[in-house]
Amino acid sequence: MAATGFPDEMRNAGLSDLTAKAVDLVAEGKGRQRYEQAMKELDRSAAPDAQASGSPASESSSDGTGGWWLWSLIAVPALALTSLPTRALVRSRRTPSAIPQLVFATARAADEAGLRRRAEAEVPALGEAAQAADATTTPDLQRALDAYGAAGTVLDEARGLSDLAGVLALAQESRDALAGSRDLPLCFFDPRHGRTALRTGWRPLGRRERLDVAVCQECANALQARRAPEVLTDTDEDGRTVPYFELPAGRSVWAATGYGSLMSPLDGFHTRRSTTR
Ligand SMILES: [Zn+2]
């Protein structure tokens, strides 16, 4: 993240652009490399400055740009810090500290960018697979195409992680229809965990009825050890971050379907469309 202020095009960037750049650098996997390269340049230009402190125009500042990334080193953390007291005031009733909120927001932005890229790659690949399918040997081709279309629509309108995860669930449903298989859906707790290993009974906190959900091996292990599995979160009406399945089913097609554990994502998508139109 410290490397985000280094590239030339980021010289006058605001905090949101710097954050976006940080996400890109992390995704690219070159953050450390860029940072180390910039630090080397910092060492090179700082040394002559120190020796020639009396000279009016040092090498690094003669073009007026030598110190800009130094500014960014100080300014980015400073900007982040100045925003903290405000956030702390706003959120102090709910959270003891605003810092985790900021960290979570950044991690969430990175998660979302990664998932969006994955979904954006998945949909066209699925389109090609559907196009290549033979109608005479693929009885569920129409369903595969429907799920493919729904995945594209959800991707276009996606407002966050839960929708992007829905693209994966719809894509999986489409692929299953193409293959003529009825495998278990993606993990109920977080579809990003991938294909599930088994179905199991699970009782949500504060509810009486048990749900029959499909879970990945890791989540199954967590449940067995009475640990909370890692869950995909969404935002409720009050702006709080909650497990996605705690939203009212009428508000979230993903809470209603459990990404395939409770209902087919495609059926949930159609039901939602017909009731909201
Ligand atoms: Zn899982």
The per-residue pLDDT for range 228-254, each reduced to its tens digit, is 999 999 999 999 999 999 999 999 999
pLDDT attached to residue 205: 82
Percent of the chain with pLDDT strictly greater than 90: 53
Residue 113: which pLDDT band, with cuts at 50, 70 and 90? very high
CA of 190 to the centre of ligand 1 (A): 6
Distance 75 CA to ligand 1 centre (A): 40
Residue 219 alpha carbon to ligand 1 centre in Å: 4
Within a domain: 195: yes
Let me know whether 117 and 78 are in one domain: no
Range in 2-6, 58-62, 107-111, 117-121 with the lowest mean pLDDT:
58-62
| Domain range enclosing 18 | 2-47+68-91
Strand spans (E) along the chain: 198-202, 211-215, 233-235, 241-243
In-domain check, residue 52: no
Query: What is the whole-number distance in angstroms between the Cα of residue 88 and the centre of ligand 1?
Result: 33
Query: How far, in Å, from the CA of 237 to the mean position of ligand 1?
Result: 26
Res 33: pLDDT = 72
Q: Tell me the range of 15-19, 28-32, 258-262 where mean pLDDT is highest.
A: 258-262
Residue 11, pLDDT > 80, answer no
Q: What is the whole-number distance in angstroms between the Cα of residue 108 and the centre of ligand 1? A: 18
Which of 91, 123, 143 finishes a domain? Answer: 91
How high is the pLDDT of residue 24? 65
DSSP 3-state helix, strand, coil percentages of the chain (rounded to 5)? 60, 5, 30
**pLDDT bracket for residue 90 (50, 70, 90):** very low
For residues 152 and 46, the model is more confident at 152
pLDDT tens profile 163-210 = 999 999 999 999 999 999 888 999 999 999 998 989 999 998 888 889
Distance 18 CA to ligand 1 centre (A): 32
The answer to whether position 236 is within a domain reads: yes
Query: Is position 124 within any domain?
Result: yes
**Token pair belonging to 78:** 């400073």
Q: How far is the CA of 225 from the centre of ligand 1 (A)?
A: 14
Domain count of the chain?
2
Q: Ligand 1 mean position to 35 CA, how many Å?
A: 35
Calculate how far, in angstroms, residue 197's C-alpha sits from the geometric centre of ligand 1.
9
Query: 135 and 74, same structural domain?
Result: no
Looking at residue 4, its pLDDT comes to 59
